[in-house]
Structure 1
Amino acid sequence: MAAFIDRIDEIATLENEYARDAASFVVIYGRRRVGKTTLINHFCKNKDAIYFLATEENESENRNAFKNLVAETFDNTLLANATFDSWAPIFNIIADESKKGRIVLVMDEFQNLGKANKAFPSVMQKVWDEILSKSNIMLILCGSLINMMTSQVLNYDSPLYGRRTAQIKLKQINFSYYHEFDESLSFDKQLLQYAVTGGVPKYIELFDKKKDIYRSIKENILSTGSFLYAEPEFLLQKEVSEIGSYFSILKTIAAGNHKLSKIASALGVSQSNLTNYLKTLIDLDIVEREVPITEENPEKSKMGLYQIKDNFISFWFKFVYPNRGMLESGHSEYVEDKIKKNFIDNHVSYVYEDICRNDVWDLLSEGIAFNRVGRWWGSKNVEIDIVAYDSTGNDIVFGECKYSKNKKGMDVLTSLQEKTKVVNWNKDNRNEHYVLYSKSGFSDELIEYAKRHNNIYLRQL
């Protein structure tokens, strides 16, 4: 397994901050297990760094642990034996030491300090303004509770607002880097694993590459004592109150209800009661509101659909949460069989579409101009997997994604061309291109036809 994968932009941001002539203040946040600490440790290699992990203990315990860490780092016996009822003297010592050379100071799980003392962001503001901002220090505040990090550090009403010099909201690793976890995996095996683990490094590490996907799911998710069996509960329980309400919404979306009206109807509540819950799930990077890609005013669109954007969360709410009674009572075979029957058509095929939409950017090298890519759907139940267009020009790409065992023929192309007639964007003045994705390739007839038409692209993934 590769030791460190992707994170190119994030490392570049951190190195730029480290190279500043003045103090810098970076905020790193993102969901649990996404690799924040790994990123920080990789960046801190060969640098003078102090890494402090805040715990859920009270403030004085954290302060004492911080003091001892700093004393040990600088071999400062006087500090080790001292007792403080404030943080400033400890930070003053770090600032003095930074005169000898730049120091990276990391405070991980920073939100725990704010939980222990609600006034701690104000304490940190004073420390930054009076001590650290005038020193040769790169301060990194890191946290995995997105709501708390936002309220304590990033929001306008936080005492620390406006102090940061950079921020990184760490997201999952893109599928295009997935092969680096195991170069021996075929594309299809990568896809099957990605459909379950998403781009969360910790989840990816759990899946044994030698075993088939269903055995890995059984061992790592369906077993009631396994690491991922209750993972969504751990993800949400510290972010939200009323975890049951959020679980009900996610289960409803996973069951295929994507319109606000359908979600509300399935739950027996009014639409207005759902908006705050959905906003929270969007802020947590678990759900996204999607509109047809050609919509001019997405916020005002009445065509919005709510999707679970996290592969693992989507898988869990489709197959694990509705069947927990069976799993808890020892009937895992029933759930395993259900997954085998529905995994490909009801889950993997949608993940495949996402990967194809990401891949379509490669068509820019073919000379097609576009700057927006997404899905499209209309009021007549017409759906198109891929629409990419140039918002200031005339080029538009229509695409279809087929994850099946059979080669795809002319009927797929003609069906797609028929559907494009209901897309009104620049209808009388556009250059149409077509891209077909197929797991299993294409018929000879379609391949020959594409060779004769330079606006048709066939891609086998």
Structure 2
Amino acid sequence: MPFVDREIEMSALEAAYKNPVASLFVVYGRRRVGKTTLLAEFCKGKRALYYLATEESIQANCAAFREMAADFLQDELLRSAANVGWEMIFKTLLAQPSEEKLVIIIDEFQYLGKADKAFPSVFQKIWDTQLKNENVEVILCGSLVHMMMEQTLSYSSPLYGRRTGQIKLKQIPYAYYNQFFPAMSEQERILYYAVTGGVPKYIELFHQGNGIYDDILQNVFTPQSFLYEEPEFLLRHEVSDIGSYFSIIRSVAAGNCRLSDIAASLSIPVTSLPKSLKTLCDLDILEREVPPTEKNVETSKKGQYRIRDNFLAFWFRFVYPMRSFIESGHAEIAMNKLRSSFIPNHVGYVYEDICRSKMWELNAQGKLPFLFDRVGRWWGGKDTEIDIVAVDTNDRSNILFGECKFHQNTQMQLSELRQLKAKAAAVQWGKESRTEYFILFCISGYSEELHRLAESDPHIILG
């Protein structure tokens, strides 16, 4: 599978490498997102030592690191030395003269701090007394987000203030999916993105492209498959009470988006939820949405929660409720349910996200009537919801409304634009003097009427 995207992250690592002073980078992000692949790509052609920490004791990790350093240096004396500590190993690594910068990567760094709570302090001393004045780039990498934040980024960490940069690696955007699946139509690519969601490991499993339903059956709807229990693996090391977090995600997947609705569905007090919701947001599993027209996003009472991760949204909608059928050998029942609701109940929402991301691209390219600083979904009242609303919070003279349709075989019609305009009337933001624009997105294109109208009316845009 090709190495795709990561230009910004690679550029940051390369800039640190070319800088004559020492650097300490923290790279973190959820499992399977491609951190190790990024670092392997960065290390190509460089003088680099890569060590993968384990959940063994700190003494076992130290011995393994010594062996790795001895192999790297071809130093038999270091290899045979007993009871050599971390400080001496790093001192030996730095003692070998070279004009080329040395890259030292410690992957799954959080396991060292878990094995010995004092290790971040030990490493802080090594950085302060040895590494920071040498020609080195040190990268501490980890996949347990909360542990990495606690051990390297939080104010209470001994390493706080030492880092010269950090990368929270996220999923690969849809815009790059044509590089993974170049032979597919855009419609097919969106179906695959709706399940794999930009996680490189998942993309790799689906990379053969045998057809979305066959690939789902093989990789998700089989109890022995890699992804069947993936959500449990993701949460197991991050949270202590996996059951309560599962319940929260399941509630959101069922359509309970407001804080009060989530609490009511779980029969728990509202006050017990914020900490858990913050944890799930930190893990990029959930996100809190607020209509872009709200004055204060942070304190708005209109906030709603949604599942941010495509695969987890898919899993909780289609796998979790059907596990009894799947595990009893009747996966065909689950597949029939999936076929009937996959497009309207999942792909359609993913397509809206893709279109909102495209809005930022169009905005940056100057292809829209005005520059905006907020874009998102808007809702109000009982049933009024608009897929896209874009505004400039510093200028209330313009507003843009958008509609997104994943019609597989049907073009968007003029009637859908009329419906959008009717819904736009419910949005009060700048209503006294605003100029309204409308943008339409449809995977199957637009009717001739819409094309003619867009050509004659600059307020209508076809995405």
Deviations 1:334-353 (A, max 9, x none): 11111111111100000000
Instruction: Check conservation: 2:181, 2:207, Cα contact below 8 A.
Output: no
**Is 1:5 the equivalent of 2:8?**
no
Map 1:198-277 to 2 at 5 A: 198-277=197-276
**Is 1:178 the equivalent of 2:177?**
yes
Q: CA deviation at 1:389?
A: 1.6
Instruction: Check conservation: 1:396, 1:431, Cα contact below 8 A.
Output: yes
Aligned to 2:406: 403
TM-score (norm 1): 0.97
Q: CA deviation at 1:99?
A: 4.9
Whichever residue aligns with residue 245 of structure 2, its letter is: Y
**Is 1:417 the equivalent of 2:421?**
yes
Q: CA deviation at 1:380?
A: 4.5
**Is 1:146 the equivalent of 2:136?**
no
Separation (CA, whole Å) in 2 of partners of 1:281 and 1:333:
32
Q: Which sits farther off after the overlay, 183-192 or 320-329? A: 320-329
Aligned to 1:75: 74
Whichever residue aligns with residue 203 of structure 1, its letter is: Y
Separation (CA, whole Å) in 1 of partners of 2:207 and 2:135:
45
Separation (CA, whole Å) in 2 of partners of 1:18 and 1:379:
53
Aligned to 1:445: 449
Q: CA deviation at 1:30?
A: 0.2
Structure 2 unaligned residues grouped into runs of 5+:
none
Separation (CA, whole Å) in 2 of partners of 1:122 and 1:226:
41
State percent identity of aligned pairs: 51
Q: Secondary structure at the match of 1:365?
A: coil
Separation (CA, whole Å) in 2 of partners of 1:388 and 1:249:
30
**Is 1:316 the equivalent of 2:315?**
yes
Q: CA deviation at 1:433?
A: 1.1
Deviations 1:252-310 (A, max 9, x none): 11111111111111111111111111111001110001010111211211101000000
Q: Which sits farther off after the overlay, 248-257 or 354-363? A: 354-363
Q: Secondary structure at the match of 1:422?
A: coil
Separation (CA, whole Å) in 2 of partners of 1:451 and 1:77:
75
* Distance of aligned partners of 1:57 and 1:255 in 2 relative to their CA distance in 1, 3 Å threshold: same
Aligned to 1:454: 458
Map 1:313-392 to 2 at 5 A: 313-361=312-360, 362-363=362-363, 364-392=366-394
Q: Secondary structure at the match of 2:140?
A: strand
Separation (CA, whole Å) in 1 of partners of 2:207 and 2:136:
41
* Distance of aligned partners of 1:210 and 1:280 in 2 relative to their CA distance in 1, 3 Å threshold: closer
Deviations 1:207-233 (A, max 9, x none): 144411111100000100000011111
* Distance of aligned partners of 1:376 and 1:52 in 2 relative to their CA distance in 1, 3 Å threshold: same
Q: Secondary structure at the match of 2:403?
A: strand
**Is 1:118 the equivalent of 2:120?**
no
Aligned to 1:21: 20
Aligned to 1:436: 440
TM-score (norm 2): 0.97
Separation (CA, whole Å) in 2 of partners of 1:176 and 1:98:
44
Q: Secondary structure at the match of 1:300?
A: coil
Instruction: Check conservation: 1:387, 1:398, Cα contact below 8 A.
Output: yes
Separation (CA, whole Å) in 2 of partners of 1:246 and 1:135:
44
Structure 1 unaligned residues grouped into runs of 5+:
none
Q: Secondary structure at the match of 2:220?
A: helix
Q: Secondary structure at the match of 2:213?
A: helix
Q: Secondary structure at the match of 1:434?
A: strand
Separation (CA, whole Å) in 1 of partners of 2:290 and 2:213:
33
Deviations 1:173-194 (A, max 9, x none): 0000011012111101110000
Question: What is the alpha-carbon root mean square deviation over aligned residues?
Answer: 1.2
Q: Which sits farther off after the overlay, 371-380 or 411-420? A: 371-380
Whichever residue aligns with residue 403 of structure 1, its letter is: F
Aligned to 1:307: 306
Q: CA deviation at 1:388?
A: 1.2
Whichever residue aligns with residue 254 of structure 2, its letter is: A
Separation (CA, whole Å) in 1 of partners of 2:287 and 2:68:
41
Whichever residue aligns with residue 456 of structure 1, its letter is: I
Separation (CA, whole Å) in 2 of partners of 1:280 and 1:440:
39
Whichever residue aligns with residue 87 of structure 2, its letter is: A
